[in-house]
Amino acid sequence: MRVLVVEDDEETAQTVAVGLRRAQMAVDVALDGPGGLERAMCNDYDVIVLDRDLPGMHGDAVCSELIAAGNRSRVLMLTAAATAEDLVDGLSLGADDYLPKPFDFPVLIARIGALARRAHPAVPPVLQHGDLVVDTARRTARRGERALELAPKEFGVLEVLLASKGRAVPAEELLERVWDDAADPFTSAVKITISRLRAKLGNPPVIETVAKRGYRI
């Protein structure tokens, strides 16, 4: 799952980003409205966590621009205000959810997960292939009776492959969906992560390499 956090308070933004990464999400950060809009337009995010009170361009304007451009990312708006009027205003702009500050971090993670499962195409809360089961809500994975201890990138790759329902997923797409924008497009990170994931999944193998097309379950 790839998330964009648009928040002008750098300490808050980085704290949220660290917490989301610990929850096995790939996270990019923007500190103002124009920067957030540019990143959202250039990258494919599952969820955008968007503060309303942003410098350079108000969060409402950012949300409106995204909707007008047909951006398919789900938008979770954050605000220090918590009135019913603010809630109506935010949702009427096209935001998918609304969370007042201060918020409990587990609630933020749950809201982001719920929005990601409503993405296009929708990802079900539980992904399964044979005895391999991934719970996207609880961020857990198991094979048969064995719990899988997966690193965040391993979990992300497995989630994307399972959600693709047998489609071969190019390494470039995995890099875009699971890593953040600091990732080197020429890195061998995807190949290494697939190798480690295969070792943890065990036998019989479930990840197939498709020549010149990528990887699939």
Q: What is the pLDDT of residues 90-146, one digit of tens each?
A: 566 778 888 888 889 999 998 998 888 776 555 667 899 999 999 987 889 999 999
**In this structure, are residues 60 and 52 in contact, taking their beta carbons and an 8 Å threshold?**
yes
Under DSSP, is residue 90 helix (H, G, I), strand (E, B) or coil? helix
Per-residue pLDDT at 181: 66
pLDDT tens, 151-206?
888 998 999 999 888 899 998 888 888 887 666 666 788 999 999 999 999 999 99
**Average pLDDT of the segment spanning 47-53:** 93
pLDDT for 89 beyond 70 = no
Question: Would you list the domain boundaries of the chain?
Answer: 2-116, 126-216
CB count in 10 Å sphere of residue 130: 10
Helices 171-178 and 189-201: crossing angle, nearest 10°? Answer: 90
| 159-162 CB contacts, 8 Å cutoff, 24+ apart | 159/1, 159/123, 159/127, 159/134, 161/207, 161/215, 161/216, 161/217, 162/127, 162/128, 162/129, 162/132, 162/134, 162/217
Per-residue pLDDT at 18: 92
Residue whose structure tokens are 């096995």:
24
Per-residue pLDDT at 81: 63
Per-residue pLDDT at 136: 82
Residue whose structure tokens are 């953040």:
180
The pTM for the full model equals 0.65
Residue 55: Cβ-neighbour burial (10 angstroms; 0-12, 13-18, 19+): exposed
Query: What superfamily would CATH give domain 2-116?
Result: Response regulator (3.40.50.2300)
Q: Terminal CA-to-CA distance of the chain, rounded, Å?
A: 18
> What kind of fold does domain 126-216 have according to CATH?
Arc Repressor Mutant, subunit A (1.10.10)
Of the pLDDT bands very low, low, confident and very high (cuts 50, 70, 90), residue 9 is: very high
Residue whose structure tokens are 């790759």:
157
pLDDT tens, 51-80?
988 999 999 899 989 988 888 889 999 887
